[in-house]
Amino acid sequence: MMPREKPGIWSSAPRERSPTEKANPLGVIPDGNDKNGKPHKLRLYSIASSALGDFGDSKIVSLCVKRLVYTNEQGEIVKGVCSNFLCDMS
């Protein structure tokens, strides 16, 4: 089971299966709280790597993430919480 209360990156793949096997998403919980003061919710991302991972050992995977930044109707710049969390990790 994924520890949904803690920020980080999680895979729900059973131990006997690779987390990069088909249909296994990675769960991401960004650091911090939402505008209501509650922890951010889990977001699921599809894995962009092959079934054996980036280096053929099923340990390293890649995600394809587009950083979301836009201007809302009030003219304020809004950043996607999770996409920016992931893009800022590198």
Closest residue by Cα to residue 18 from 54, 44, 64: 54
Rounded to whole angstroms, the maximal C-alpha distance in the chain is 50
- Average pLDDT, stretch 22-35? 84
- Average pLDDT, stretch 71-85? 95
- Phi, psi values for residue 85, rounded to 5°: -55, -50
Number of domains in the chain: 1
Q: Residue 60: which CATH number?
A: 2.40.30.10
Closest residue by Cα to residue 31 from 8, 5, 55: 8
Q: With bands split at pLDDT 50, 70 and 90, how would you rate the model's confidence at 3?
A: very low
Buried b (16+ CB within 10 A) or exposed e, 32-60: eeeeeeeebeebebebebeeebeeeebee
Residue 14 belongs to what domain range?
A: 1-90
